[in-house]
């Protein structure tokens, strides 16, 4: 983020987006889309975030495209955040951890989104695997979808919201790490005032910029004193400027500059 700027660009090959790029909604279109985004942005943005579901829908051939995209993006210097939102218990969570956080896996990524709502302790296999491989995880905290509030804003027995319980667990995992720990939190940029303590000593992934209605100028109001640790995530706001590589680059550069300006002004 310090070197390339605070921006994460999603790789989300929606069927409608493939069509708008003049591509077929098939493996050839998926491959062309992914290659274009990686070639245009992987040497300049801090993080690329492929959404696994849009590759999984094509079966094994789609996963093969994802594997190649991850490998090429990392080779070009971008960090890869796999947006798979995995969450389970025991050996199953261990298998997810091995899939995305083991350096010997073809899908090894620098970080993985995970869901803690089977209990934070259920994430232990992923947390441990990330430590061993020098990777990280982003724990769902307060997401940008309105439906999330019925779980995340629910109150625990001690009066804290469930989201705050999860953030407190993250803070404990990151205690003492410098400059930041490798356990991040997902906090939607569309929330207004987040209403939770964001001092988790880790990165804060902020989806919702662009198509969901938030702007870089909203970040200080949502994140307050923690805004310097925010990694805004944008997908359609950049991808709609394709398939021309220069259009993708210009959109990413413009958003990066806007985020920097918003953070500095705060």
Give me the active site residues, please.
85
- How far apart, in whole angstroms, are the C-alpha atoms of residue 244 and residue 181? 37
Q: Which residues pair with 47 in a beta bridge?
A: 8, 79
- How far apart, in whole angstroms, are the C-alpha atoms of residue 138 and residue 66? 20
| Per-residue tokens: 173 | 């995992």
Taking the CB of residue 91, how many other CB atoms lie within 10 A of it?
9
Taking the CB of residue 16, how many other CB atoms lie within 10 A of it?
10
Contacts of 209 (CB under 8 A, 6+ apart): 189, 215, 216, 232, 233, 234, 237, 255
String of DSSP letters for 9-73: EEE---HHHHHHTT--SSHHHHHHHHHHHHHHHTTTSSEEEEBTHHHHTTTHHHHHHHHHHHHHH
Phi-psi region of 213 (alpha: psi -120 to 50; beta: other; left: phi over 0): left
């Amino acid at each position: 983020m310090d070197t390339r700027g605070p921006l994460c660009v999603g790789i989300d090959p929606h069927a409608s987006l493939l069509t708008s790029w003049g591509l077929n909604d098939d493996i050839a279109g998926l491959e062309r889309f992914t290659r274009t985004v990686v070639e245009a942005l992987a040497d300049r943005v801090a993080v690329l975030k492929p959404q696994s579901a849009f590759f999984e829908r094509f079966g094994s051939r789609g996963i093969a495209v994802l594997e190649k995209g991850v490998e090429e993006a990392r080779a070009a210097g971008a960090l890869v955040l796999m947006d798979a939102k995995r969450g389970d218990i025991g050996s199953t969570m261990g298998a997810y951890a091995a899939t995305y956080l083991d350096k010997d896996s073809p899908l090894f990524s620098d970080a993985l989104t995970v869901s803690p709502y089977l209990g934070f302790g259920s994430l232990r296999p992923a947390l441990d695997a990330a430590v061993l491989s020098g990777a990280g995880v982003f724990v769902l905290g307060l997401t940008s979808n309105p439906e999330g509030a019925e779980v995340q804003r629910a109150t625990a027995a001690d009066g804290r919201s469930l989201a705050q319980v999860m953030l407190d667990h993250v803070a404990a995992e990151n205690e003492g790490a410098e400059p930041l720990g490798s356990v991040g939190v997902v906090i939607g940029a569309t929330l207004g005032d987040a209403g939770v303590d964001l001092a988790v000593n880790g990165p804060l992934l902020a989806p919702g910029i662009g198509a969901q209605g938030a702007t870089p100028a909203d970040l200080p109001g949502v994140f307050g004193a923690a805004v310097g640790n925010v990694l805004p995530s944008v997908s359609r706001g950049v991808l709609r400027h394709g398939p021309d590589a220069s259009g993708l680059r210009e959109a990413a550069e413009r958003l990066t500059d806007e985020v920097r300006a918003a953070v500095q002004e705060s």
